[in-house]
Amino acid sequence: MANAGCRRVGIAMDYSATSKTALGWAVNNLVESGDEIIIIHVVSPKTDHSSNKQLFEDTGSPLIPLEELREANVLKKYGLTHDAEVLDILDTVSRTKEYAKVLAKIYWGDARDKLCEAVEHMKLDSLVIGSRGLGALKRVLLGSVSNYVVQNATCPVTVVKGAPVSKH
| Pair 57, 123: CB distance under 8 Å | no
pLDDT digits (tens, 9 = 90+) for 81-92: 889 999 999 988
In 3D space, the residue among 137, 148, 103 whose CA is nearest the CA of residue 11 turns out to be: 103
Instruction: Enumerate the domain spans of the chain.
Output: 8-161
Quick one: pLDDT at residue 47? Answer: 59
User: Please, how many CA atoms are within 13 Å of residue 126, restricted to the half-sphere of its CB?
Assistant: 22
Which stretch of DSSP H or E encloses residue 15? Answer: none
The structural architecture, per CATH, of the domain 8-161 is 3-Layer(aba) Sandwich (3.40)
Quick one: pLDDT at residue 165? Answer: 47
- 22 or 167, greater pLDDT: 22
* Global confidence as pTM: 0.83
Number of helical (H) and strand (E) elements in the chain, helices listed first: 8, 6
According to DSSP, the β-strands at 36-43 and 8-12 are parallel
pLDDT digits (tens, 9 = 90+) for 16-42: 888 999 999 999 999 888 889 999 999
In 3D space, the residue among 48, 39, 47, 38 whose CA is nearest the CA of residue 14 turns out to be: 39
